């Protein structure tokens, strides 16, 4: 299993042969505050890397959720839609946003690992 991070504060967890899981980082949910609404992408729709795939709204702000890789959305987290606070309480687990079938796994290579993202997030604060 590999977890990578984007400069837009999304994480993507991939395992060989399975759709990758995407969510927002702890840093992102900290910056947003209490999440009150999520707009999730449409299952079956394909996105290019960098496309806006959803929106997360909090009591403080709204932010786009970007597609970290090119691919097709295979599943969305209906539990998150029903309880958006999962993005705050468990952003790297139960608060995932959607799953995507990768069009090109090599797009994961330039994304940040945990150490690089940690330094990036500290500098972004």
CATH number corresponding to 2-104: 2.40.50.100
Q: Quick one: pLDDT at residue 77? A: 98
**Domain ranges across the chain:** 2-104
d(CA 106, CA 122): 27
Contact 21, 13 (CB under 8 A): yes
pLDDT confidence band for 1 (50 / 70 / 90): confident
Nearest alpha carbon to residue 108 among 75, 76, 68, 80? 68
Q: Which helix (H) or strand (E) holds 102?
A: strand 98-102
d(CA 65, CA 50): 9
> What pLDDT digit, counting tens, does each position of 68-93 carry?
999 999 999 999 999 999 999 999 99
Contact 57, 35 (CB under 8 A): yes
């Amino acid at each position: 299993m590999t977890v990578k991070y984007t400069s837009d504060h999304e994480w993507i967890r991939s395992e060989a042969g399975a759709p990758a899981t995407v969510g927002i980082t702890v840093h992102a949910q900290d910056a947003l505050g209490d999440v009150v609404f999520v707009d999730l992408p449409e299952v079956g729709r394909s996105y290019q890397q960098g496309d806006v795939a959803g929106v997360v709204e909090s009591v403080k702000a709204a932010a786009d959720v970007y597609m970290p890789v090119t691919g097709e959305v295979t599943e969305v987290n209906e539990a998150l839609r029903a309880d958006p606070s999962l993005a705050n309480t468990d952003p790297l687990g139960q608060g995932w946003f959607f799953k995507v079938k990768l069009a090109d796994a090599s797009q994961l290579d330039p994304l940040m690992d945990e150490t690089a993202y940690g330094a990036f997030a500290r500098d972004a604060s």
